[in-house]
A and B are shown apart, each in its own frame.
Chain A
Amino acid sequence: MSAPENGVNAETVRKIARLSRLHVAEGRLVPLADELNGILGWIEQLNEVDVDGVEPMTSAVDVSAPLRADQITDGGKRDAVLANAPKSDSGFYVVPRSVE
């Protein structure tokens, strides 16, 4: 398959992986670029479709977004919320230091 017009290289994969918060080993960058280019090349056939003046579809069925009263409907469930935390202490999540 020919390289797609907007194809990716190892450097782009590094950037995408970073944006995706996925650790990718150095040796996987090139194989991943090949895999992604296979899919991106296949997707490029969409360029054949005339979409001039076409509105993008945002919803499958025409409905207006519902609104509800701005009232508290749920809450007070600290222990239930924390029950699945990988680490918690004294009613708080314990997370790695984010500010040095």
Chain B
Amino acid sequence: MSDLTNLTLESALTGMASGDFSSEEITRAHIDACMEAADLNAFITTTFEQAMDMAKASDARRAKGEVGKLEGAPLGVKDLFCTEGVKTTAASQILGDFKPPYESTVSANMKADGMVMLGKLNLDEFAMGSSNETSSYGNVVNPWKNGEELVPGGSSGGSAAAVAADICLGATATDTGGSIRQPASFTGTVGIKPTYGRCSRWGIVAFASSLDQAGPIAKTVKDSAILLDSMAGYDPKDSTSLNVDNGDWVNSCGKSIKGLRIGIPKEYTVDGMPTEIQSLWDQGIEWMKDAGAEIVPVSLPHTKYALPAYYIVAPAEASSNLARYDGMRYGARVDGENLNDTYERTRAAGFGPEVQRRIMIGTYVLSAGYYDAYYLRAQKVRTRISEDFKNAWENCDALLTPTCPSAPFAIGRKLNDPITMYLNDIFTVTANLAGLPGISVPAALDQDGLPLGLQIIGKALDEDTVFAAAGALEKAANFTAKPKKWWV
């Protein structure tokens, strides 16, 4: 039998449907691949025994004619999604050995659709980071290498690395400022953040509630549509969940984009951006033209203010969300001289430096006398950014931009310079602030042989157009490169 780990999710589902192999067989192949790839440190917790049980149960269901959207597919789950009875860490020490007594809505949807869960994937601590280096379970190594070891991006670095390395058919991820799309770009995978409210946030460890949104990382655009179709849907347990139907996403992937108006925002050219990324963007424009799209120059004048606004809004919401970790009801506790001292020592020991930095920034910008100057102003700037997009939609249907201002960088290079690290998200964060869908599609290798992605941003709830444009981009780019399996 050919190597079952090289398959896409789509072909794996077809292969199981036509009886070419069972879920048990493809799950076993992925478990073996996961074990060989331990050096990537993509997993925090593996659940191989449960996975084999889930695979057998899936094969039994299939024998009875019960076939879900993800039936029998071995997938990974970012360790930010609570999974019943399976340790959930958010890559932080503060959660100790927390085993949720409940299941996140997104992972519950996927299990109901037949997912086989291989384990919980590594990430930046509380999803705060762009390189997976803030994880208290160690950094993830990018399967793509350039002599030295590179970061896989973040915060969904484990998800992206696992999919790129063919050790999971696909994975869940979350995106607060770029945490799905930037690692997808860094690893030659596809990642989509849907419209805010598509995926329930219930049971996902909260970072910045008005920005957090779940989505998949996958091998192809169509695989990402298959996964999102399972993950998304209305959930009364999340008051921001949208009560709207999923689109016809899987079929949209192959749709013609003839006559589609693709906007090119002039502000997405930044100082110091490698010329290769500019040329790839130009190439992308040509590809869209060749596919019949009309190219429209647009302006999003408040783009440069998106990151500073994000670094007020996100830490402010994080400081509030992370107040719950007090060592009393769950997680680790460090005893102090009195109650307050216990809180302070528990939190100082449990949170890493980046998380502490963001909690303090957030506490400061929300504190008496500064709320108007920082938080309120940032929320108004956010309105301006949202208006920019609304104006652009007068003249176009979707936008084409680079996903990131750089290719993957070496481990340790940006860790001590927070602002340089934050700049990774310059092209992705605007979609979070405005709540819009965005997808990263692998488009080319740079001169060092490292993957680069292009991003499509769409109108709210218009994932159908996003998938159509991404499908056209994927077809034109014909990105077939794979990292060399140096870890085997």
Q: Contact residues of A with B, CB < 8 Å?
A: 6, 8, 12-13, 16-17, 19-24, 32, 35-36, 38-40, 42-49, 51, 54-61, 63, 65-66, 68, 77, 80-81, 83-87, 93, 95-98
Q: Are B101 and A77 in contact (CB under 8 A)?
A: yes
A60 proximity list for chain B (CB < 8 A): 195-197, 210-211, 386, 433-436, 460
CB-nearest residue of chain A relative to B236? A68
| Interface contact A46-B99, CB-CB below 8 Å | no
Residues of B that sit less than 8 Å from A by CB: 96-99, 101, 195-197, 210-211, 236, 239-240, 242, 302, 304-305, 308-309, 311-312, 319, 323, 326-333, 335-336, 338-345, 347-348, 351, 356-357, 359-361, 363-364, 367, 370, 373-374, 376-384, 386, 418-419, 433-436, 460-461
Q: Taking CB as reference atom, which chain B residue is nearest A77?
A: B101
Q: Is the interface of B mostly helix, strand, loop or mixed?
A: helix
Contact of B348 among A13, A23, A49, A95 (CB under 8 A): A23
* Extra inter-chain contacts (16) besides given A19-B367, A23-B344, A60-B386, CB under 8 Å: A13-B360, A16-B360, A20-B360, A21-B347, A22-B347, A22-B351, A35-B418, A43-B311, A44-B308, A46-B305, A56-B383, A60-B211, A60-B436, A66-B239, A85-B329, A93-B328
Residue pairs across A and B with Cβ atoms less than 8 A apart, 27 shown, are A16-B360, A16-B364, A22-B344, A22-B356, A22-B359, A23-B344, A23-B347, A40-B361, A44-B308, A46-B305, A46-B381, A49-B305, A54-B380, A56-B376, A56-B382, A57-B380, A57-B386, A58-B210, A59-B210, A59-B435, A60-B197, A60-B434, A60-B460, A61-B461, A63-B242, A93-B329, A96-B339
Q: Contacts of B419 on A, CB cut-off 8 Å?
A: 38-39, 42
B242 near A51 (CB under 8 angstroms)? no
Give the number of residue pairs across the A-B interface with Cβ within 8 Å.
170
* A86–B98 alpha-carbon span in the complex (Å): 10
Q: How far is the CA of A32 from the CA of B339 in the complex (A)?
A: 25
Q: Which of A19, A57, A68 has the most chain B CB atoms inside 10 A of its CB? A: A57
Q: Which B residues touch A13, using CB under 8 A?
A: 360
B342 / chain A contacts, CB cutoff of 8 Å: 96
- Which of B332, B338, B340, B386 is in CB contact (< 8 Å) with A21? B340
Q: How far is the CA of A96 from the CA of B373 in the complex (A)?
A: 38
Residue of A whose beta carbon sits closest to that of B435: A60
- Kindly provide the distance from the CB of B241 to the nearest chain A CB, expressed in whole angstroms: 9
Alpha-carbon separation in the docked complex, A45 to B357 (Å): 20
From B242, B370, B383, give the contact of A61 (CB < 8 A): B242
User: What residues on A are CB-neighbors of B361 within 8 Å?
Assistant: 36, 39-40
The answer to whether A61 touches B435, judged by C-beta atoms less than 8 angstroms apart, is yes
Task: A95 to B311: give the CA distance in the assembly, Å.
Answer: 34
Those 3 A-B pairs whose CB atoms lie nearest each other, nearest first: A60-B435, A56-B379, A84-B330
A59 smallest CB distance to B (angstroms): 7
Contact of B98 among A47, A57, A84 (CB under 8 A): A84
Residues of chain A contacted by B351 (CB below 8 angstroms): 22
Report yes or no: B197 in contact with A85, Cβ–Cβ below 8 A: no
Query: Known: A23-B341, A61-B460, A95-B339. Contact between A83 and B99, CB under 8 A?
Result: yes
Which A residues lie within 8 Å of B380 (CB)? 49, 51, 54-57
Give the residues in chain B near A84, CB-CB below 8 Å.
Answer: 97-99, 101, 329-331
With A22-B360, A23-B347, A39-B361 as given contacts, are A51 and B197 in contact (CB-CB < 8 Å)?
no
Contact B383 A57 (CB under 8 A): yes
User: Given the complex, which residues of B lie within 8 Å of A38, measured CB to CB?
Assistant: 418-419
How far, in Å, is B140 (CB) from chain A's closest CB? Answer: 25
Tell me, in angstroms, the Cα distance from A87 to B450 when the chains sit together.
49
Contact status B384-A49, CB under 8 Å: yes
What CA separation (Å) do A22 and B361 show in the bound complex?
12
**Cβ–Cβ contact A49 & B333, under 8 A:** no
Q: Within the assembled complex, what's the spacing in Å between the Cα atoms of A38 and B419?
A: 8
Bound-state Cα–Cα, A49 to B309, Å: 11
A15 CA to B18 CA in the complex, in Å?
65
Question: Measured between alpha carbons, how far is A60 from B381 in the docked complex, in Å?
Answer: 13
Partner of A98, one of B339, B364, B435: B339
Contact in complex: A86, B309 (CB < 8 Å):
no
A39 to B314, CA, bound (A): 13
Instruction: Contact check, A35 vs B210: say whether CB atoms are below 8 A apart.
Output: no
Q: Give the distance to chain A from B177, nearest Cβ to Cβ, in Å.
A: 13
- Chain B residues with Cβ below 8 Å from A58 are 210, 379
Shortest Cβ distance from B374 into A: residue: A43
Contact of A51 with B331 at beta-carbon distance under 8 Å, contacts A17-B360, A23-B341, A23-B348 already known = no
List residues of chain B with CB within 8 A of the CB of A87: 333
* Bound Cα distance A97, B309 (Å): 41
Q: Which of A13, A46, A54 has the most CB of B within 10 A?
A: A46
